[in-house]
Amino acid sequence: MKSLILTSLLALSGLIVTAQTDLKKPEASQASTITQRIGITDIAISYHSPLAKGRAIWGELVPYNEVWRAGANENTTVSFSTDVKVEGKSLAAGTYGLHMIPSPKEWVIIFSKNYYSWGSFFYNEKEDAVRVTVTPRPAPSQDWLSYYFSNPQAQSVSAVLRWEKIEVPFKIEVDVPETVYQSMRKELSNINGFFWQGHNQAAAYCIQHNIHLDDASAWVEKSITMQKNFSNLTTKSKLLEKQGKATEADVLKKEALTLANENQLNAYGYDLLGQEKTNEAIEVFRLNVKKYPTSWNTYDSLAEALEKSGDKKGAIENYKIALSKAPEIQKKRLTSTLKRLEGAN
């Protein structure tokens, strides 16, 4: 028994010593992650950053024409929350091991399905998801390896590796309208599918981007069935316009206006102004004044539309009414606007 206890104590002592050697310590190549969102797509690159320390890097520390882990320690990884294109090649949503093959003139960027291995030591070409070829470019000297995102646009961004005196960019593109459409379809199969708002929003998005109009039609009809209101009737009228059914669209617009509240009419009027449909906007603002004659904001919006149309007299008249009803915080602006217009007469 004493022997067994002694053996157990020695084993435990060994475990304790081992555990003590595993305390966290700084790594020579520190960990980092960068992120970027394009549309609703999240992109992240996780890597460890080695230092040059005066060493020759390209063709020496990092050999040419050999697979390199594009960082230090375990795999450098890149993840995409939705499908993307990299340098024009399709790549499915997911996490990938990021490897590179440097050369003096061209670099091969490799996206491997194996994202969990240690560096490139276990790299297997059969696990490649996509390979692309890019051109490195000169950059100011930088001792530490880093990644950054460059030139973010509505549907694209460039990811850039930078180290020593070069940087290596690769372009990532996202079909944002299609991605949003696919996301909305999924959301409508969840809690949002039980309410009129989600169906209306999905239909409106498709109409705005002129995609999947059959689905848009089904969604707006379902929204109206759930609760007919200004928002979904307006959405359906826009769909009818796209389908060349102008008469039906006008009938629906008139019905929609009868259901609108002050804020909805006001927003709709400004939407028309933004589309340069000034006369239609004026009609909507006049309707808002008629329905809500005690609101200073209805007169203010009507005055702005009249001013845009060139009707200074009508604008001044309505700005004065707005001023008489406006809260203190708005009076300075309205007074200044009236002085400007009256001084121009």
* DSSP structure string for 82-133: S-EEETTEEE-SEEEEEEEE--SS-EEEEEES--SSSTTTT--GGGEEEEEE
**Amino acid present at 9:** L
Contact between 254 and 287 under an 8 Å Cβ cutoff? The reply is no
- Token pair, residue 211, equals 């995609």
Q: What is the pTM of this model?
A: 0.83
DSSP tally for the chain: helices H, then strands E: 11, 10
Residues 6 or more apart whose Cβ sits within 8 Å of residue 302? 282, 285, 286, 288, 289, 318
Q: What is the pLDDT of residue 92?
A: 98
Q: Closest Cα to residue 47, out of 136, 133, 137, 159? A: 159
Which class is 262-345 in CATH?
Answer: mainly alpha
Q: Closest Cα to residue 167, out of 96, 107, 112? A: 107
Assign a CATH topology to domain 176-259.
1.25.40
- Token pair, residue 313, equals 């007299």
Contact between 114 and 128 under an 8 Å Cβ cutoff? The reply is no
3-class DSSP state of 58 = strand
Give domain limits for the chain: 30-174, 176-259, 262-345
Calpha distance 237→250 (Å, rounded): 7
Q: Let me know if the fold of 176-259 is the same as that of 262-345.
A: yes
Calpha distance 71→303 (Å, rounded): 61
* Helices 262-274 and 296-309: angle between axes, nearest 10 degrees: 20
Provide DSSP, 234-297.
HHHHHHHHHTT-HHHHHHHHHHHHHH--HHHHHHHHHHHHHTT-HHHHHHHHHHHHHH-TT-HH
Q: From first to last of its 345 residues, what are the pLDDT tens digits of the chain? A: 555 444 444 454 554 555 556 788 788 888 999 999 999 999 999 999 999 999 999 999 999 999 999 999 989 999 999 999 999 999 999 999 999 999 999 999 999 999 999 888 999 999 999 999 999 999 999 999 999 999 999 999 999 999 999 999 999 999 999 999 999 999 999 999 999 999 999 999 999 999 999 999 999 999 999 999 999 999 999 999 999 999 999 999 999 999 999 999 999 999 999 999 999 999 999 999 999 999 999 999 999 999 999 999 999 999 999 999 999 999 999 999 999 999 865
Contact between 69 and 46 under an 8 Å Cβ cutoff? The reply is no
